[in-house]
Amino acid sequence: MSLIALTLGTVLMMQSAGADLARAEAERLDACVAKIETDPENAYEDGLAWTYEGNRPGARQCAALALIALGNYETGADRLESLASSSDGGSMEQRAIYLSQAGQAWIMAGAPEVAVVSFSDALRFAPGTTELLLDRAGAYLLLEEWDRALPDLDLALANSPGLAEAHQLRAQVYLSKNKYDLALKDVDAAIAADPTNIDTLVVRGRVREAIRIAEADGVPQ
């Protein structure tokens, strides 16, 4: 057999082994995430044990997510951000996922300003991703940075017309900017897309009350 054939066979075997490893890691990570839902402490221990076996990215992600579920938001977020910047962090999509999860942890930690950084970094790996745009817009709303949230929501709706969550968030932006007619249009669009969403109904009530007060005060609409 020629050297080229031997080399080709070795490459194919390595590719197959790599695919098997990735599949096994994905299955183990899924099991860990499922356990986090019911028993985060044991899931964290599983993640540590997995880490000692080889410090695989899935092991580090598992442990970080378990820490977040246990209320250690900052530590978990820091670990996910480190994973996103590591040499074995995986594909661009995987790194964006780590950063998105870190951003959510920062929100839970009451640090939306740090969450904005994580979501922005995630968007560098996955530009224009609708879910990430919504995440960052939500963080901007918590910071009351309406003008920074609006472009993200406009782009999210350009990507996914009629998306209920985007319309609801944009309604809140317009309400905060006293643009009640635009807010009401977005509320109506959000309700049309998801008629039973309680949060949207609450926003509609706020918009209607703001319009009532403005009319009573003689403020032109």
Q: Which residues contact 152 (CB under 8 A, 6 or more apart)?
A: 133, 134, 136, 137, 140
Query: What integer pLDDT is reported at residue 216 of this predicted model?
Result: 86
Query: What integer pLDDT is reported at residue 131 of this predicted model?
Result: 97
For residue 18, what is the DSSP state? Answer: H
Over the chain (221 residues), the average pLDDT of each successive run of 10 is: 44 49 83 92 92 87 95 97 94 96 98 98 97 98 98 98 97 97 97 96 96 82 56
Query: What integer pLDDT is reported at residue 151 of this predicted model?
Result: 98
Residues 130, 157: contact at Cβ < 8 Å? no
Query: What integer pLDDT is reported at residue 113 of this predicted model?
Result: 98
- Global pTM value: 0.86
Q: How far apart are CA 92 and CA 114, in angstroms?
A: 21
